[in-house]
Amino acid sequence: MAVIRDVMPAFELFQPATIDDALNLLDKHGSEAWVMAGGLDSFDWLKDRIKRPSVVVDLSQIKELTGVKEWNGGIEIGAMTTLTDVVRNPIVKEKFSILATGAESAASPQIRNQGTIGGNVSQDTRCWYYRSGWKCYRAGGNTCFADTPTAINREHAIMGASRCVAVNPSDSAPALIALDAKMVIRNKSGERVVDAENYFIGPALDIRRMTVLLPGDLLVAIRIPSTWAGAKFYFEKVRDRPVWDFPLVNIAAAMKVNGDNIESIRMAVNGVAAHPVRLTAVEASLVGKPRNAASADAAGQLAIQGAEPLRHNGYKVPLLRNLVKRAIRGVEEAKWA
Amino acid sequence: MPININGAAPAGLVVPKPTNPAEHKLVGKNYMTPDLMAKVQGKSKYAEDYRADGMLFVKLLLSPVPHGRVRSVDTSAALAMPGVKAIITVDDLPPPASSLTDAGVVIAANMKANRGLTNEPMYQGEPILAVCAESELIAAEAIEKIKIDIERLPFVVDPFVSLRPGGPNARVEGNCWVSPPPPAAVAGAPAGRGGRGAPPPQAEVKEIKWTDADYAEYESGKMPMGAPNTPEWKYGNLDAAFKNAALVLDETFMSPNTSHQCLETRSAMAYWQNGKVFVHTGTQSTAQTVPAIARWLGMVDEKKQPDVSKIVFISEYTGGGFGSKITGDISLIIPCILSKKLGGVPVMMRLTREEEHFMGKARPAVTGRVKVAFNKEGKILGMDMYGVCDSGCYDNQGDAQAAGRIASLLYQPEAMRLRTMTVITNTPPRVSQSAPGGMQAVAIIEPLLAKAARKLGVDPVEIHRINAPEGKAKFGPGAGPKQVRGYVTSAYLKQALDKGAEEFRWAERKAKSPQVQGNKVRGIGVSVSGYSGGSVGFDGLLLIKTDGTVCFQSGIGNLGTESMSDVHRVAAEMLGVPWDKCEICWGNTNKNLPWTCVSGGSQTTHAMTRSAYAVALDAKQKLKELAAKKFGGTPEGYDVANERVFRKGGGSGMTLAQAAQYAIEVGGVYDGHEPPADVNKMTKTSIAAMAGQGLVAAARDKAPHDGQTYSFAATFAEVEVDKETGKFHITDFLCIADVGTVIHPKALGGQVLGRSTLGIGHAIGQKWVYDQHYGLPLAKRFYNNKPPTILDVPAGSGNMNWAALDIPDPETPVGARGIGEPPVGGGCAAVLNAMSDALGDEIFRRAPLSADLILMSLETGKAAGEHLTAHV
Amino acid sequence: MGIIEFAKSPWGQDVPIHIFFYLIYVAVIAGLTFFIGHVIWLRYFAKKEEFADSTPPGEVAKLPAEIKRHSLPARLFHWVQAGAMLTLLFSAFLPKVGVRFEWLQWHWIAGVVLTVSIVFHIIHASFFMNFWSIWPDKIDIEDAGRRWKRSQGEKAPAPRRFGKYPMENKMYHLAIVLAGLSVTLTGFFMLFRIRTPLFTRNSYMFGDMTNGLMYTLHGLAGVGLIALIMIHVYFALRPEKLKISRSMVYGTIKREHYAEHHDPKRWVAEAE
Ligand SMILES: Cc1cc2nc3c(=O)[nH]c(=O)nc-3n(C[C@H](O)[C@H](O)[C@H](O)COP(=O)(O)OP(=O)(O)OC[C@H]3O[C@@H](n4cnc5c(N)ncnc54)[C@H](O)[C@@H]3O)c2cc1C
């Protein structure tokens, strides 16, 4: 049977107006159902006819899922809030600016107007073998085509690989981990709250999924506690083009300093593994240390320990090292004559 | 009219007298083009915007393998689906047939050419069959029901893999095209692809393998140089050049394969009515697409010439071509044939972005190894160039050959040798893309020139200046028994370099460069570039209507360059008609269009301003003759201005409206009942259809012309690199164009900077990626193959600038040359040179450059990446 | 539904990728069905075991009280193999039924342990044990025929006593050999496709089709082993078999059991 791509297949579309209706639909249709938020990842899969759900549950009509509200001194962001709305939100800007910076670095203005924060953290990897419909491990097959002697894997993982070497492409994810965000997940049988860093999973745990979400689950909101409000933030994304491009590597750090010393710090990177990686060893090594070039260098070295580059992605190792350094010591802005 | 202010006209040629540009009302002025409002309001209709009752839709079954042979196809289940109307394969298409051009040249049928569909797919994504159904969804579902059995054949996607001893061949018969020697250049033949000449004879597929010895330096990044597949050419004494050199550099550089990335994919719609086929698609020439369609559909008359009488071609808007839609695309025959099969119903074939990636053509990568001898001032004494071109699976691409000619033009080596090898690979078809070969020549040689400047301690602008072509500069190999070398009409590249250096404040910046601040470093670069800038001999056609408006018949494709309108301003200016009394008739061959050049190779502005000039002279002459007939005296006693023809010095006269009415009364040559003898058949058909509607003027461009027309650009760029991330961006950019008289400044600026950006894309990221194990492409979508975005250029900061010298070309009456191709190479190489200025010579050996390569180079202290592996 | 799951290769060809994983449940159900069937058979249909000959009680008394059945290395091998096998099965199939954990490292390490232990076993059995004692011989086959006829109520001589291993034991071993070699051999090549310190990764040692068949065989043997291991455990724990099962712990069986079931000519008794 021949293959054709790039034509949207037929499916049954539901547009529930409440979370409960959505959960009932998801429960009823189980793994046959596809949750759709902004559609920017979803439509790719659907129109390429690679993922073939028979039912699509479009969340766009559920008002309860949009908007940013205050919560316990922090905020709660509805999963369907667009990236643009997250970026523009005054509280986000004031207290958690790292999230605004991270979200604003994603994709392009048009995509941010449509893409949602819930979709952004739940999106699938962009491995071009997988996205081409090759039946790799992640697609249920028996090979990782990106991890072969001849593969082109410039954009793939240097850590946490287990058969699959794809990376997580989200720009908001590391910011959320740095802010110690909590992901509120609901399904027919109730609600559970998962730390952002545990929301994302690697191939060793489940090679077919990027997050802990299972069929029937809905991410309803993301809560950001007040813990890191107004901390010193650093976010940087390195990409090929200044717009409309996924990260090669990105980094998000939240730091509290006392005088010259680092009192506490949370740091996460993405684009290096199948899930955003919280650099706990680096964090631990920095607590109580002065915030200077020497600490930054040591932290950079620590961050890349155990990194295992592939044929074309060796650059990610120095890149990660340098980004960690910069997150700690900052970047000297050039002032040209 | 502005003509021939500088430079001498060719001896014996009569060149029209110059006029004062200060008096121009239209030429050199900005204006609103007739297609603009529709475009900004979204009312412009591209091929795929048409809908009609009962329209059917096409979807294609694409080859999953890089090379194979269809053993069997079972379409029964698909055909049984409700809504599926027909399925066609290559067997339903007309076989390729030889044809005869108007000039009497036989175009032999190429049995190995791309036919639109195939039973021996040569690359993944090549269409094998087409399904026509009531909707695209049904067609797609039908394709999923088709059982197809394909025998896999050996494949290769990397030229240097194919050339190795024992390497695979992309075609069953071999891995490269070998042509019998080309016939001697025909004098006056239109310049194209960087040179002149009749179409070369049909090439054959042969196998050429290089030896292990040839590959000895492969690992170190030096390009192997085995036997070429095209006869080498040379001039001057190369040995002496290398002997006397103060510096010899031997460098390898790889340029990328880049898709044309037209925003409008090559969608096409067709229907048949009363025995005529109506075809809608994008094109780079409304006029010349018609004979191409005739040839593809096998419509030839008894003389074997394309029979265009049964074809109506509609193409009002085209979303970009860049060389990939010169005469539309052969895939347009799919809806034509399906419609015919189904009784003429409209059939729409919309191509998706992925299909466009496969079928939309691409620039062939040329890997070049160049050994250059410099004297101590930086003058190039000798250049020994070898280019290996990845020709894709169809048609021998001339890019490597063109690259040699352009190199010899732009850098004027005193002695030169060119060898080239064109390798067939199982990758999508290549075709000319903006500055085919010219772009690659510049990309290959400029980094070497910048390195030489550093080594010799010569200023980079100076090293370009000292080697730049000037006046009627010679280029390319000699031809004929006396080995006479061709030359250009004019070149003012030195002036362009000077003007650019001043505006860019080169000297001031150079004194500080490279500048370092923290992790950031800035460098500056300069590059020259150039390409063919015009052809000659096409027709102009206009109608002065009885209401006094002038209708310019434009056969030029409307692909966004605005030349389809711009060139006619020359005629309006000459006739003294205000622009609001002018109409442009374009985009539909039912509207009576004249024979026109294709908008490829930057021909149009030059060729069609000449035709506009010719037709304006004809209109003027006819007006004067009519006045003389009506009012007495000789035509010379009359003048044309201010919408009137009148007796010189005052007295009797008539308005253009009256003259048009009178032309109808007089008839004959005046209202189109008698066409001029020397215009093209197509023009004659149009004249006949317009006859009796007013004053019909038509003329073929026969203005004097000696050299070959080339345009030039001098490009300057500054980049800033972050040494900790490898990220870089362009902070300042300037391109100075040497394109003769400026016709329409805004359109020119759009071209200069637009094409510069196309070139920049080659330097900073645009590429193809292939998995060599399977021979399949991975970067099929924009976010993977990364064409540049507006944020990649310093447009927002006002630092993306252009200027034109505005020095008229002495060998064309209007003084204007073309602009499309020339800036492309400069856009690429100025950025590359700025990068090496910032970071040093050992940073890159291939384009595009990206953060990863730069960071790794900085980490390891040597150029990173696999230097000679294709498509990484 | 089917046994083998097919997918499109990157070239669009249909290639096997692995078994359908519902076969896990099929294997478990097969195992359970066997238990039930066996229990019913024993309870309602099985006849008491009779042997054609017996050792006179006097002779029995001369035998050592504990007769050596499994040497220490053999026992060690068995338990190492058992541990590896259970680890392999659980790490392979739990994730498929929805239990998430980082299974691959358990799986490949257990796989390596199993492979090494099998290699050890082959060498040990070939050179240090009575190699042929585990393979069915002519007598076994004749006796199997006799048992079958007698169970059908036909006339047939009573079967003779066993050699060292009863027929079902031998058959079971045979099945385990086939399944075990299939998984280990395919597993060995699969080690080249994952991250281990052992080999340089290379997924392209074989073509898509060979790879697919390898995964399929690995899977088939794997689910087969689910059933086989279930049956093995079931028998090991059956009360009447415990007398033999204990020998895998202590190395010996009681002489009474020996005398009743085993032919001293076919299996010469030895003391521990
Ligand atoms: C060309 C391009 C470039 C891009 N560049 C970047 C980039 O640089 N950085 C970046 O971070 N992102 C980038 N993106 C991703 C984009 O920003 C979106 O965030 C992303 O595509 C998903 O958001 P969405 O709302 O469109 O979700 P969808 O596409 O609708 O959904 C994505 C996935 O998440 C699931 N999902 C969505 N919402 C929920 C929910 N509430 N509960 C459970 N499951 C859910 C869906 O089922 C689906 O599997 C890019 C996308 C494109 C197309």
Length of chain A: 337
Contact indicator for B307, B298 with CB cutoff of 8 Å: no
Residue B175 identity: N
B533 vs B606: CA distance, rounded Å: 7
Question: What pairing do the DSSP bridges indicate for beta strands B728-738 and B800-804?
Answer: parallel
Q: Are the C-beta atoms of B848 and B767 separated by less than 8 Å?
A: yes
Q: Does A15 touch chain C (CB under 8 A)?
A: no
- The CATH class of C4-61+72-246 is mainly alpha
Average pLDDT of span C24-36: 95
Measure CB to CB from residue A241 to each of B724, B779, B792 and give the nearest one. B792
Q: What is the DSSP letter of B83?
A: T
Distance A245 CA to ligand 1 centre (A): 13
What residue type is A184 in one-letter code?
V
Give residue B660's pLDDT: 98
- Confidence band (pLDDT; 50, 70, 90) for B2? very low
Q: In whole angstroms, give the CA distance from residue A324 to residue A254.
A: 12
- Residue B412's Cβ-count burial label (10 Å; 0-12, 13-18, 19+) is buried
pLDDT in tens, A275-291: 999 999 999 999 999 99
Q: With a 6 A CB cut-off, is A119 part of the ligand 1 pocket?
A: yes
As to burial, measured by CB atoms within 10 angstroms (0-12 exposed, 13-18 middle, 19+ buried), residue C127 is exposed
Which of A123, A191, A275 is the best mutation target for the ligand 1 pocket, counting ligand atoms within 8 Å of the beta carbon and taking the most? A123
- The structural domains of chain A, with segments of one domain joined by +, span 12-61, 64-122+168-227, 236-332
CA–CA distance, B404 with A93 (Å, rounded to integer): 56
Rounded to two decimals, what is the model's pTM?
A: 0.94
Among B415, B525, B527, B510, which Cα is nearest to B468's?
Answer: B527
Domains (range + CATH), chain B: 47-153+261-359 (3.90.1170.50), 537-700 (3.30.365.10)
Tokens representing B77 are 């289940």
* Residue A34 forms contact with B (CB below 8 Å): no
Query: By the 8 A CB rule, do B502 and B495 touch?
Result: no
Neighbors of chain C with 3 or more C-beta pairs under 8 Å = A, B
CA-nearest of B688, B657, B640 to B551 is B657
pLDDT for B128: 98
Handedness of CA C98, C100, C101, C104 (dihedral sign): positive
Measured CA to CA, the distance from residue B543 to residue B333 in angstroms comes to 33
pLDDT at B190: 44
Bridge partners, B268 (sequence order): B281, B349
**B192 has a pLDDT exceeding 60:** no
Beta bridge partners of residue B362, listed in sequence order: B259, B430
β-pair type (B653-655, B694-700): unpaired
| pLDDT on residue B199 | 59
Nearest-CB residue to B771 (from A145, A314, A337): A145
C55-78 burial, b at 16+ Cβ within 10 Å, e below that, comes to: beeeebeebeebbebbeeebbebe
Q: What is the mean pLDDT of residues B545-559?
A: 97
For residue B102, the model assigns a pLDDT of: 65
Please give the average per-residue pLDDT across B295-301, as a whole number: 91
CB atoms under 10 Å from CB of B634, counted, come to 10
Q: What distances in angstroms separate CA B636 from CA B298, B577, B782, one per listed residue?
A: 49, 20, 60
d(CA B352, CA B357): 9
- C-alpha distances (whole Å) from C194 to each of A31, A209, A210, C105, C202 are 28, 19, 20, 10, 8
Beta strands in B723-805 (DSSP E): 728-738, 770-771, 776-777, 800-804
Spatial separation of the C-alpha atoms in residues B641 and B649, rounded to whole Å:
12
Beta-bridge mates of residue A219:
A185
Residue C159, φ and ψ in degrees, nearest 5: -70, 155
pLDDT at B108 over 80: no
- pLDDT of A200: 98
Helix crossing, B438-456 with B745-764: angle to 10°?
70
> pLDDT tens digit string along B46-68?
999 999 999 999 999 999 999 99
Closest Cα to atom 8, ligand 1: which residue?
A: A246
Task: Quote helix, strand, coil % in chain A, to nearest 5.
Answer: 35, 20, 45
C-alpha of residue B872 to centroid of ligand 1, in Å: 27
Span C184-204, average pLDDT: 93
**Ligand 1 centroid distance, CA of B81 (Å):** 35
Residue B133, SS3 per DSSP: strand
Total residues found in chain B within this entry: 872
Distance from C-alpha of C152 to C-alpha of B452, rounded to nearest angstrom: 99
What confidence category does residue B193 fall into, taking pLDDT thresholds of 50, 70 and 90?
Answer: very low
Q: Answer for the pair A140, A208: CB distance below 8 angstroms, yes or no.
A: yes
Max mean pLDDT among A18-22, B96-100, B391-395, C97-101 falls in A18-22
Nearest to A167 by CA among A183, A179, A154, A180: A154
Q: Would you state the pLDDT for residue C270?
A: 83
Q: Three-class SS of residue B772?
A: coil
CB-based contact B786 A241, cutoff 8 Å? yes
Q: How far is CA B355 from CA A135, A152, B76, B706, C10, in A?
A: 21, 22, 25, 44, 17
Place of tokens 């990206």: B850
CA distance B872 to B433: 21
Residues 153 through 212 of chain C touching chain B, CB cutoff 8 Å:
204
Is the confidence at residue C138, as pLDDT, over 60?
yes
Determine the average pLDDT of the residues in B626-633.
Answer: 96
Q: How far apart are CA C88 and CA A83, in angstroms?
A: 45
Per-residue pLDDT tens digits for B755-793: 999 999 999 999 999 999 999 999 999 999 999 999 999
User: What pLDDT digit, counting tens, does each position of B639-652 carry?
Assistant: 999 999 999 988 89
Q: Kindly state which CATH superfamily the domain A236-332 is placed in.
A: CO dehydrogenase flavoprotein, C-terminal domain (3.30.390.50)
- Using DSSP's 3-state secondary structure scheme, residue C153 falls into coil
Evaluated on CA atoms A313, A314, A320, A325, the torsion sign reads negative
Smallest CA–CA distance, residue B124 to chain C, in Å, is 9
Class of domain A64-122+168-227: alpha beta
Question: Given this model, what pLDDT does residue B182 score?
Answer: 61
Looking at chain B, the whole-number percentage of residues with pLDDT higher than 90 is 89
Phi and psi (nearest 5°) for A23?
Answer: -65, -40
Of chain A, the percentage scoring pLDDT greater than 90 comes to 97
Token couple for B867: 């230097």
For residue C259, pLDDT beyond 90: no
* Cβ pair B416, B441 in contact under 8 A: no
Q: Mind listing the pLDDT tens digit for each residue in B123-163? A: 999 999 999 999 999 999 999 999 999 999 999 999 999 99
E strands, B4-146, are 56-62, 68-74, 84-89, 99-100, 106-107, 127-133
Q: Whose CA is nearest to atom 41 of ligand 1?
A: A219
With a pLDDT cut of 70, the percent of chain C lying above it is 100
Partners for B (CB, 8 Å, 3+ pairs)? Answer: A, C
At B277, list the tokens.
């086929």
Is residue A155 within 6 Å of ligand 1 at its C-beta? no
Q: Which of A57, A62, A17, A20 is nearest to A39 (CA)?
A: A57
| C-alpha A239 – ligand 1 centre gap (Å) | 18
The pLDDT score that the predictor gives to residue B105 is 74
pLDDT value for B191: 41
**pLDDT bracket for residue B184 (50, 70, 90):** low
Between CA B265 and CA B60 the distance in angstroms is: 14
Q: Give the per-residue pLDDT at B796.
A: 81
Does ligand 1 have an atom closer than 6 angstroms to the CB of A53?
A: no
Residues from chain A contacting residue B66 (CB–CB below 8 Å)? none
| For ligand 1, mutation pick of A48, A64, A122, A214 (most atoms within 8 Å of CB) | A122
What is B351-384 written as a DSSP string?
A: PPHHHHHHHS-EEPPEEEEEEEEE-TT--EEEEE
A246 close to ligand 1 (CB < 6 Angstrom): yes
What is the longest distance spanned by two Cα atoms in chain C? 75
Give the pLDDT band (50/70/90) at residue B96: confident
Which whole-number Å values give the CA distances from C67 to A54, B665, C140, C267, in the listed order? 65, 131, 22, 11
Q: What value does the mean pLDDT take over residues C170-175?
A: 93
Sign of CA dihedral C152, C155, C160, C161: positive
Q: Which residue has the higher pLDDT, C133 or A231?
A: A231
How much is the ipTM here?
0.96
Spell out the domain ranges in chain C: 4-61+72-246
Question: What is the predicted pLDDT for the residue at B188?
Answer: 44
- B776 CA to middle of ligand 1, Å? 26
The token pair at B73 is: 């196809």
Best interface-test mutation with C: which of A52, A132, A142, A308 has the largest number of C CBs within 10 A?
A142
| Chain B residues with CB-CB distance to C10 below 8 A | 64, 771, 774, 776
- Residue B158 CB neighbours (<10 A): 24
Q: What's the pLDDT band for B189 if we cut at 50, 70, 90?
A: very low
Mean pLDDT of chain B: 93
CB within 8 Å of chain A, chain C residues 210-239: 211-212, 215
pLDDT average, residue stretch C222-226: 96
Residues A251-274 have pLDDT tens digits of: 999 999 999 999 999 999 999 999
DSSP-based three-state secondary structure for B114: coil
Which tokens go with A152?
A: 């082109």
| Mean pLDDT within B489-505 | 98
Q: What is the 3-state secondary structure (H, E, C) of A118-130?
A: HHHHHCCCCCHHH
For B348-377, write each residue's pLDDT tens digit.
999 999 999 999 999 999 999 999 999 999
Residues 6+ apart with CB under 8 A from A44: A131
- Which H or E run includes B252? strand B247-254
Residue carrying the six token digits 């003294």? B576
Q: How far apart are CA C103 and CA C91, in angstroms?
A: 5
Topology of domain A12-61 in CATH is 3.30.43
Q: What is the pLDDT of residue B10?
A: 52
pLDDT at residue C264 greater than cutoff 90: no
**What pLDDT is attached to residue A210?**
97
Encode pLDDT of B468-479 as tens digits: 999 999 999 999
DSSP category for residue C200:
-
Q: Is A104 in the pocket of ligand 1 (CB under 6 A)?
A: no
| pLDDT tier for residue C46 given thresholds of 50, 70 and 90 | confident
Phi-psi region of B166 (alpha: psi -120 to 50; beta: other; left: phi over 0): left
Instruction: Tell me what the mean pLDDT of segment B382-387 comes to.
Output: 98
Asked if residue A122 has its Cβ within 6 Å of ligand 1, the reply is yes
Q: Return the top range by mean pLDDT from B201-205, B617-621, C250-254.
A: B617-621
Phi, psi angles (nearest 5°) of residue B627: -65, -45
